[in-house]
Structure 1
Amino acid sequence: MYMELDWKEVFTASMVLFAVIDIVGSVPIIVDLRNKVGHIHSEKASIVAMVIMIAFLFVGEEILKLIGIDANSFAVAGAFVLFFLALEMILGIRLYKEDNPSTASIVPIAFPLIAGAGTMTTILSLRAEFEKINIIIAIVINVIVVFAVLKLSARIERILGVNGLGVIRKVFGVVLLAIAVKLFAANVKQLFL
């Protein structure tokens, strides 16, 4: 199968993943985890998250076929997940609650903070629209950003402050909301054909 490299797709997929992963908005969580559990292995967390995301890109659709769900249905479901993630970001509420971790590099940093349910849903939703090679490049770009943010999290928190992080989170929440609406509109009509 011929895969075509398209920098517009790479840019769009990168921005979508950046908004979903929301690593800059997660800096307060990362700092809090670092204070609770000590050192976070940025390299290990980044590599594990990348492996999870790329593996899910390739086997996610097969898993869906196994349970009898088509890509359009999953994309519509993904649009709902993105919609609620965006609401969390914009309104500053938590719809999804999780237990407090005892270790941090793999769980919860790599999974589910970076490569969580929203990211997995997004990857499969992107697969319905974009070439795999472009999504892989977008994943790698995001993992590089994630690694940098994990390494510099304390410095980023000092520079941006609580208000700066809040503004960035809300801006990307609005972007994510728009992406969710577009994803829903593009795939819901296929369900009724």
Structure 2
Amino acid sequence: MAATNFGELATAFATLLVVVEPLGLAPIFLAATVGQSRAARSGIASRACLYAFCILTGAALGGEALLRAIGITIPAFRIAGGLLLFAIASEMVLGVRIGRDSDTAAKAVGENGGQHIAAFPLAIPLMAGPGAITATLLIAGEAHGDPARLVGLIGAILAVILICWAVCRLATRVEQLVGASASIVMEKLIGVLLASLAVQYVMDGARSIFV
């Protein structure tokens, strides 16, 4: 049982890590916080990660109940969620996601002078966007309300968010270390992995309905 729980925890962590893609935050975080002091950037990173953790934890704890309340079955959500994740993966493979997220960050800074960038666009949609929320709901659905499995999911969420926090705090070094070319290649590889995961979710949902 312990091995199974560890395997599920590892799967949840890997899934969220692929969807959130923390390394891709570095250049966007730097662009969104340009002109800010080191202390201000630290505060923004901490608040953004706190907001994202609360959003994803809320989805993990209350998502399945919400789906039941509005009459959506887990198999149907697996198919819909898989299709959404596949669309996000396609954007990553085609190189659309980085440019779009950078434009979103620049627009947010321009509109509010950087006052709320911890919430938008850093927490939403970069860390806790539709893809991450969907993945969290899908994984929570597999737990079937088991407290131990939900705690494991929340632990996986916390681990991914802590990685996001570390990337934001070390954004300059991360950007220099990874480089633009390597970042593009990594995003495309991660996109392929996410597309495969999305197809698996669709297949699992279809199997639950028709078998």
Q: TM-score, normalised by structure 1?
A: 0.89
Q: CA deviation at 1:45?
A: 1.1
Letter in 2 for 1:126: I
1: CA distance between counterparts of 2:153 and 2:75? 17
Q: State which drifts further: 20-29 or 138-147.
A: 20-29
1:108-139 deviation line (CA, Å, top 9, x unaligned): 11122101111111111112334312211110
2: CA distance between counterparts of 1:175 and 1:4? 24
2: CA distance between counterparts of 1:87 and 1:169? 11
The aligned runs of 1:36-55 (5 Å cut-off) are: 39-40=40-41, 41-55=44-58
Q: CA deviation at 1:23?
A: 1.7
Q: What's 1:35 paired with?
A: 34
Q: State which drifts further: 143-152 or 64-73.
A: 64-73
Q: State which drifts further: 98-107 or 170-179.
A: 98-107
Q: What's 1:18 paired with?
A: 17
Q: What's 1:124 paired with?
A: 137
2: CA distance between counterparts of 1:5 and 1:37? 45
| Misfit runs of 4+, over 4 Å | 94-99
1: CA distance between counterparts of 2:187 and 2:197? 15
1:162-186 deviation line (CA, Å, top 9, x unaligned): 0011111111111111111111111
Letter in 2 for 1:23: P
2: CA distance between counterparts of 1:154 and 1:136? 29
- Aligned partners of 1:37 and 1:104 also within 8 Å: no
2: CA distance between counterparts of 1:29 and 1:161? 13
SS in 2 for 1:147: helix
Q: What's 1:107 paired with?
A: 120
2: CA distance between counterparts of 1:105 and 1:189? 40
Larger radius of gyration between Structure 1 and Structure 2? 2
Q: 2:179 aligns with which of 144, 154, 161?
A: 161
Alignment gaps of 5+ in structure 2: 144-148
- 1:151/1:129 CA distance change after superposition, 3 Å: same
Q: TM-score, normalised by structure 2?
A: 0.82
- Aligned partners of 1:5 and 1:133 also within 8 Å: no
Letter in 2 for 1:153: A
- Aligned partners of 1:5 and 1:134 also within 8 Å: no
- 1:4/1:136 CA distance change after superposition, 3 Å: farther
2: CA distance between counterparts of 1:76 and 1:63? 17
Q: What's 1:185 paired with?
A: 203
1: CA distance between counterparts of 2:129 and 2:11? 20
What count of residue pairs does the alignment treat as equivalent?
191
Letter in 2 for 1:7: F
Q: What's 1:63 paired with?
A: 66
2: CA distance between counterparts of 1:65 and 1:53? 18
